[in-house]
Amino acid sequence: MELHKDESNDERPTHPLPEDILKMPRNETVCQYCGISYLIHNEIKLLEDRLKAAETELDKYCGLEKREEELKQQLQLTTSSLSVTEKRYAVVRYSTVYHKYLLSSQMLDLLHSIRTKN
């Protein structure tokens, strides 16, 4: 069913109901239990289904902002931890290079002293 919006911003059918339906007696077009028109009842049920689907979709998005904030905090902690680890690695690497330098210097001094003795 095509709908268009009128001046009051309400949705109205673009095409009127078929003449056969308009000529039907009221007792054939309404629910005998609740008195609601079958057409309206059908539309309401479709809208209820759409509403339920929209609520389900909305539930998926609830809490995303909180989760995003938690992930940002984790990222900051990880970045901070990585920075500390990189600094420690640089110190260890420098220390290792420095120790190698000292050892090689000591070895050279030892070789030099051995050569001078001979």
Q: CA 24 to CA 39: how far, in whole Å?
A: 13
Q: End-to-end alpha-carbon separation of the chain, Å?
A: 109
Listed in sequence order, the residues at least 6 apart from 37 whose beta carbon sits closer than 8 Å to its beta carbon are 29, 30, 31
Q: Are residues 73 and 118 in the same domain?
A: yes
φ, ψ (nearest 5 deg) of residue 6 = -95, -170
Residue 55 sits in the same domain as residue 11: yes
**What residue numbers bound the domain in which 52 lies?**
3-61
Q: How many domains in the chain?
A: 2
Residues 55 and 90 in one domain: no
The reply to whether 73 and 114 lie within a common domain is yes
Examine the domain organization and report whether 11 and 49 are in the same domain: yes
CA distance 118 to 27: 127
Per-residue pLDDT of the chain (118 residues; tens, 9 = 90+): 455 555 656 666 667 777 887 788 878 878 778 877 777 877 788 889 999 999 999 888 888 888 889 999 998 888 888 888 888 888 888 888 888 888 888 888 888 888 888 6
Tell whether pTM > 0.85.
no
Out of 42, 61, 80, a domain closes at: 61
